[in-house]
Amino acid sequence: MITQVSSSLYHQLTTVFDDGLAIKGDLEPLASLRRNAFARFQETGFPTLKDEDWKYTNLQPLLSKNYLLRDNLPGKSVSIEKAFIKGLNPYKLVLVNGHFRTDLSDVVDEQGVSIYSIEDIHQHKLSLRHFAQYADKTDNPLVALNTALHEGGLVIEIEKNITLRRSIQIIHVASSSETIFNQTRNLYLLGNNTKAEILESFITDDIGLSLNNTVSEVVLEENAHLQHYYLQTANSQSSYLNHTEIHQKKHSLYNNYNCTFPGSAFIRNNINVRLDDSAVESHLYGITLTAEDQLVDNHTIVDHRKPHCESYEWYKNITQNTSTAVFNGKIFVREDAQKTNAFQQNNNMLIGEKSTIFSKPQLEIFADDVKCSHGCTMGQFDDDALFYLRARGISEEKARVLLVHAFAFDVTEKFSSEPIREYVDHLIEEGLIIEQ
Amino acid sequence: MLSIKNLQASVDDKQILKGLNLEVKAGEVHAIMGPNGSGKSTLASVLAGRDAYEVTGGEVTLEGKDLLELSPEDRAREGLFLAFQYPIEIPGVSNINFLKTAVNEIRAYKGLAPMEAKEFLKQVKEKQKLVEFDAKLANRSLNEGFSGGEKKRNEIFQLAMLEPKLSILDETDSGLDIDALRIVANGVNHLRSKDNAFVVITHYQRLLEYIVPDFVHVLYKGRIVKSGTKELALELEEKGYDWLKESVDAEEGAAI
């Protein structure tokens, strides 16, 4: 079926692709991957409100703008200080509009770790074997578009039996004086018995508008452990479409901590975890604090495909002003996935009287010997609690901060890193607006 | 210390306090008794500054300062403390963190530097002992999963830590067994001094056997209709409130 699309971005992208600019110089199999992916994208076009998965998240206003499709200014100076986390000393890897800037990045001085730009992937057999093998199996047209036209991004390969001594912080900077469309593509491969912590910070620099369509594929081989943080602190000039696809093998552990703060106007995160082997464990934690007209939409899929796996998901939304938060949590328990333990919880706190939250837990269970639970709550500031704190001499402002921290605590206490917890607590405090 | 003059207050347009007068001096303990619905808890809430209560007349001063003009937090910083009848459970806020915040906010108001961590812990230890408050509870979330008695003890523990000038105990005895009652009362008695004062709101004379008041007042229909010494409490225990109600109602009838 061909959907009529009249967006200006769509036409721009078609023109670029037809001119062959994207695949110029690409070797096989990359050129075919791009070609096939673009055909898939063209079949559906951009998602619209008619798609169940995009019901509350209207892309159209973003698509009608005229974008600069590449803004690779190799020497552009950017400031990355706002992504720094007190008490944490990670290897910093800087991507400006998706382009890996070795001049601004630390050298990762660890054995068995290779880090390179996605443009160099054709030289790496292992990565090439995994590239576009996971996210592209979903029906998200934005993934197909990214596969077809991505420019820039990072590959991290960790060889088996390696435990990273320091964490890796990827700082994604959207920086342009123009209105820009970035399509970053990342691939993280963790070999057998590896352990790593990867933080991804999203920040903005400069004054231009940006739309960032990022796809990351994460592969955890047997007994690999990854702590994966998303720290979204970009400004209101920016919009993000992030798709993360995680593929897990036996005894692996994947923890995702997805934190979003006031700033970026429009954020859609798709986080899909495929538990594709037995004895896999996955944890998805989310804390979203929104303000002004912000829209933050978190769509997650936890896909139990094999027996004896455990997943645990806890998302908290706090909405202020006229902002909107969306949570959609799908859990699949396939026929083979007996003895699955799947837990999901979504708690919401509406602070802004005109703010909106859409929550949709969605469980599809095809196995009969499983333990699954889900829950969802909606609430506001507890006036009695507020008064109790104030009656002890605590200012209204501080009382609100305490109560929001308390609300977020179920999630923040799960953080594997103390400095990041403090950083996030601080961002919550900063992001709270007292007068609604 | 506390001076209440002709205080009138309403909730949802229903007048509850109808011209209440009370003078509390430093070093004194006043008990306020009265039948259900007489306005005892309203008085406590109005003094602490709860939003739902509207003051429609009268004045309240604490050491000369107009209390009614202040926000709830500023009243607390000026030295008012309300021990809640139903302390609130706040999961995720640790008891100790909450106390430290409260202590330091009050100190900041007075222009003092935050309390040293060592000094704070020393005080916590000392005051915990005073109200036989389990140290394990101090590290838990505020009142979360506490028993009724533990919650009330926590109120007195907070009172001990914040060292207010004027404390209002709102039915602190409700829901307490005799042992818990004795512990709470002992705590209060230890904290009594010539510089502070207590207003004890209660239904029953029982608490007053442990916290012996200097004055006893009977609140009825939003006014104090009788004041006396601790013997008045005994008389009420024996005779109930009916005789007082009747005489007040009769007076009202006569006035009409």
Helix (H, G, I), strand (E, B) or coil at A150: coil
- Whether residue A391 and residue B105 make contact (CB cut-off 8 A), yes or no, is no
- Report pLDDT for B132: 84
- Report pLDDT for A24: 65
What's the token pair of residue B54? 């509207």
B79 touches chain A (CB under 8 A): no
The residues, ordered by sequence, that sit 6+ positions from A31 with a Cβ below 8 Å of its Cβ are: A23
Instruction: Tell me the backbone φ, ψ of residue A297, rounded to 5 degrees.
Output: -120, 115
Q: Mean per-residue pLDDT for A199-225?
A: 96
- Report pLDDT for A5: 46
- Whether residue A388 and residue B162 make contact (CB cut-off 8 A), yes or no, is no
- Whether residue B76 and residue A387 make contact (CB cut-off 8 A), yes or no, is no
A277-297: pLDDT as tens digits: 999 999 999 999 999 999 999
Instruction: Using an 8 Å CB-CB cutoff, list chain A residues near B41.
Output: none
Least confident interval from A28-42, A114-128, A177-191, B171-185: B171-185
Whole-number Å distance between alpha carbons of A341 and A330: 14
Is the distance from CB of A277 to CB of A308 less than 8 angstroms? no
The residues, ordered by sequence, that sit 6+ positions from B21 with a Cβ below 8 Å of its Cβ are: B4, B5, B6, B7, B224
* pLDDT tier for residue A19 given thresholds of 50, 70 and 90: confident
Share of chain B above pLDDT 90, in %: 70
Share of chain A above pLDDT 70, in %: 96
Domains of chain B, earliest start first = 2-255 (3.40.50.300)
- Whether residue B51 and residue A387 make contact (CB cut-off 8 A), yes or no, is yes
Which chain A residue's Cα is nearest to B101? A394
Instruction: Using an 8 Å CB-CB cutoff, list chain B residues near A387.
Output: 48, 50-51, 72
Is the distance from CB of B16 to CB of B39 less than 8 angstroms? yes
Measured between CA atoms, how close is A357 to chain B, in angstroms?
22
Instruction: Tell me the backbone φ, ψ of residue A10, rounded to 5 degrees.
Output: -60, -45
- Whether residue A392 and residue B48 make contact (CB cut-off 8 A), yes or no, is no
Nearest CA among A259, A111, A252 for reference residue A195? A252
* pLDDT tier for residue A4 given thresholds of 50, 70 and 90: very low
- Whether residue A402 and residue B102 make contact (CB cut-off 8 A), yes or no, is no
Instruction: Using an 8 Å CB-CB cutoff, list chain A residues near B81.
Output: 391
Least confident interval from A1-10, A57-66, A166-175: A1-10
- Whether residue A409 and residue B92 make contact (CB cut-off 8 A), yes or no, is yes
Q: Where are the alpha helices (DSSP H) in B25-177?
A: 40-48, 72-77, 95-109, 117-130, 135-138, 148-162
Buried b / exposed e along A178-217 (16+ C-beta atoms within 10 A) = eebbbbbbbbbbbbbbbbbbbbbbbbbbbebbbbbbbbbb
Average pLDDT of chain A to the nearest whole number: 93
Q: Say if residue A140's pLDDT is above 50.
A: yes
Which chain A residue's Cα is nearest to B91? A406
Place of tokens 């455990």: A310
- Report pLDDT for A2: 42
Q: Which of A383, A390, A407 sits opposite B92 (nearest CB)?
A: A407
A292 touches chain B (CB under 8 A): no
Which stretches does DSSP call E strand in chain B? 2-11, 14-24, 29-33, 53-62, 65-66, 80-83, 90-94, 141-142, 166-170, 197-201, 215-220, 223-228
B50-78: pLDDT as tens digits: 988 999 999 999 999 999 999 999 999 99
Amino acid letter, A165: R
Residues in chain B predicted with pLDDT less than 70, given as ranges, are 255-256
Q: Which of A318, A381, A384, A388 to mutate to test the interface with B (most CBs of B within 10 A)?
A: A388
- Whether residue B105 and residue A395 make contact (CB cut-off 8 A), yes or no, is yes
Q: Mean per-residue pLDDT for A408-432?
A: 94
- Report pLDDT for A435: 59
Instruction: Tell me the backbone φ, ψ of residue A282, rounded to 5 degrees.
Output: -135, 140
Q: Say if residue A7's pLDDT is above 70.
A: no
- Report pLDDT for B253: 73
Q: Mean per-residue pLDDT for A204-229?
A: 96
Is the distance from CB of A330 to CB of A300 less than 8 angstroms? yes
Is the distance from CB of B98 to CB of A401 less than 8 angstroms? no
DSSP per-residue codes, A354-386: T-EEEEEEEEEE--SS-EEEEEEEEE---HHHH
What's the token pair of residue A226? 């990854």
Instruction: Using an 8 Å CB-CB cutoff, list chain B residues near A406.
Output: 90-93, 141
Q: Interface pTM (ipTM) of the complex?
A: 0.95
Instruction: Using an 8 Å CB-CB cutoff, list chain A residues near B82.
Output: 391
